[in-house]
């Protein structure tokens, strides 16, 4: 391989770390492959509004997707929860890296604490509509305090303004080495706040499953277990109306055959959480296939079977009809 692979990434410390993870995975299979990290500033990084006011899930991914379509880069590395739930035209999710801890985490007082043990009427920093509604569901007295920025910025700002804690993704804290360094991080149980679909998963997006410039087959680094669970979460969330402006959480445990789901009317209201134990037949098509195309077909079939029941238990009147 004589041509360097151009791997697009945002410039945040976490995004760059995840791009280096992807580069390491590639070079573990192709040691001679040169990988160039192409850093970009996303539309979401330029927009200073709070995330719940932007109401556009893919705003952190669009600049990378444009660069892919224009041939400026060969692939892009994303936190999967930054991607829109519908497929980007002309692009494929070609490889999923092994998933990190999918839970949310509370960065609170020294020594750590749980949401249940925070002071009465405490404020908790978060920029996520799902986490805002999740907080109100766990404890009606807790007040979400909107916040934006990279991980370190959010932690520091929440401290400066006197919040009792800051809600972040456990995966990002772990990848940045903060879980090992700090004693103030407490994971939030999934049955308290259900994660965003795909949370903890890093995915590579490209125009095709074989890179046209270098000839590498992305499937060589694809973690099939992560793909199965994360794509099913995304499909169910889509059918439940998930997105930045809609508080929806979906987490699938494979092969434990468990689905956690959450939905709320708005970020400012408490929602409903459910946990479903699935029988083997419900997931059999998904667990029996390995190719990306077969997994995509199986995901749609399984979601068709599960989403109506999940929606009914969550009190959602309508789900998206997809075939």
Q: How far apart are CA 79 and CA 241, in angstroms?
A: 20
Give the model's pLDDT for residue 49.
Answer: 41
Give the model's pLDDT for residue 42.
Answer: 57
> Which domains, from first to last, does the chain contain?
104-187 (3.40.190.10)
In what helix (H) or strand (E) does residue 21 lie, and over which residues does it extend? helix 13-29
Q: Which residues contact 255 (CB under 8 A, 6 or more apart)?
A: 283, 287
CA distances from 238 to 30, 86, 200 (A): 36, 8, 18
- Location of structure tokens 């303004």: 161
- Cβ–Cβ < 8 Å for 95, 29: no
* pLDDT over 60 at 79, yes or no: yes
pLDDT tier at 206, thresholds 50, 70, 90: very high
Q: Is the preceding omega at residue 174 within 30 degrees of 0, hence cis?
A: no
Closest CA to 216 of 226, 228, 206: 206
* pLDDT over 90 at 28, yes or no: yes
Indicate the range of 96-100, 101-105, 145-149, 162-166 predicted with least confidence.
145-149
Tell me the pTM.
0.92
So which residues are the catalytic ones? 81-82, 130-131, 148, 154, 244
* pLDDT over 50 at 54, yes or no: no
How many C-beta neighbours within 10 Å does residue 193 have? 27
pLDDT tier at 321, thresholds 50, 70, 90: low
Q: How far apart are CA 247 and CA 51, in angstroms?
A: 12
Give the model's pLDDT for residue 277.
Answer: 94
Sheet holding 123-125, edge to edge: 143-145, 123-125, 165-169, 104-107, 185-187
Q: Which residues contact 97 (CB under 8 A, 6 or more apart)?
A: 18, 21, 22, 25, 201, 202, 203, 204, 221, 223, 226
Closest CA to 83 of 194, 198, 173: 198
Query: Partners of 261 in the beta sheet?
Result: 250, 274
Each residue's pLDDT tens digit, 157-183: 999 999 999 999 999 999 999 999 999
């Amino acid at each position: 391989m004589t041509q360097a692979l151009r791997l697009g990434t945002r410039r945040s410390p976490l995004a760059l770390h995840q791009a280096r993870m992807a580069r390491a995975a590639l070079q573990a299979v192709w040691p001679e492959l040169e990988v160039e990290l192409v850093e970009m500033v996303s539309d979401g990084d330029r927009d200073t509004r709070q995330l719940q006011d932007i109401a556009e899930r893919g705003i952190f991914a669009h600049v990378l997707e444009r660069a892919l379509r224009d041939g400026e880069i060969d692939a892009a590395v994303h936190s999967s929860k930054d991607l829109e739930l519908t497929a980007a035209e002309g692009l494929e999710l070609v490889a999923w890296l092994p998933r990190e801890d999918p839970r949310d985490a509370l960065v609170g007082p020294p020594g750590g604490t749980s949401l249940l043990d925070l002071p009465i009427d405490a404020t908790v920093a978060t920029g996520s509509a799902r986490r805002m509604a999740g907080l109100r569901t766990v404890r009606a007295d807790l007040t979400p305090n909107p916040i934006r920025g990279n991980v370190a910025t959010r932690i520091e700002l929440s401290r400066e303004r006197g919040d009792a804690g800051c809600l972040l993704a456990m995966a990002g804290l772990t990848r940045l080495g903060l879980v090992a360094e700090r004693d103030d991080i407490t994971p939030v149980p999934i049955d308290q706040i259900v994660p965003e679909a795909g949370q903890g998963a890093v995915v590579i997006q490209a125009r095709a499953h074989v890179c046209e410039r270098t000839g590498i087959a992305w499937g060589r680094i694809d973690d099939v277990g992560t793909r199965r669970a994360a794509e099913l979460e995304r499909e169910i969330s889509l059918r439940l109306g998930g997105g930045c402006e809609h508080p929806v959480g979906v987490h699938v445990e494979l092969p434990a055959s468990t689905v956690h789901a959450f939905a709320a009317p708005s970020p400012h209201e408490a929602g409903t959480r459910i946990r479903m134990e699935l029988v083997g037949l419900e997931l059999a098509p998904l667990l029996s296939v390995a190719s990306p195309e077969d997994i995509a077909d199986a995901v749609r079939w399984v979601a068709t079977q599960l989403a109506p029941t999940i929606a009914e238990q969550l009190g959602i009147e309508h789900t998206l009809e997809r075939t």
